Amino acid sequence: MSVACPRTHRPSGRTITEQFHAFDARHPHVYRALERMAARRLAAGATRVSLKDLFEDLRRQLPYGPGLNDNFTALYARRLIAAHPHWASAFELRRRRAD
């Protein structure tokens, strides 16, 4: 009988953060597109921006592009805020529970 260990259910054996960094390194255009999209929405007067909405818009723009993992949305939001601290109030962040 096998006993499951915590966090070993990940198919790659890597944490979400590790998977995100690998994906981001392979697909830097995804971050740049999200950055442009967020900037446009804020410039148009939006006071809040949803990374989930941006992801869905990007999926429609890149239907045959890289698979966008919804687990990465919070990490992209944090990356955008790190690069653009004045955008912090536009994104709602929650405490992270997983790596």
Residues in Cβ contact with 92 at an 8 Å cutoff, skipping those fewer than 6 apart? 48
Q: pLDDT per residue over 31-72, tens digit each?
A: 999 999 999 999 999 999 999 999 999 999 887 777 889 999
Provide the pLDDT confidence category of residue 5 given band limits of 50, 70 and 90: very low
* 26 phi and psi angles, rounded to 5 deg: -80, -25
d(CA 44, CA 23): 30
Is pTM beyond 0.75 here? yes
CB atoms within 10 A of CB 19: 19
Query: Domain extents for the chain?
Result: 16-90
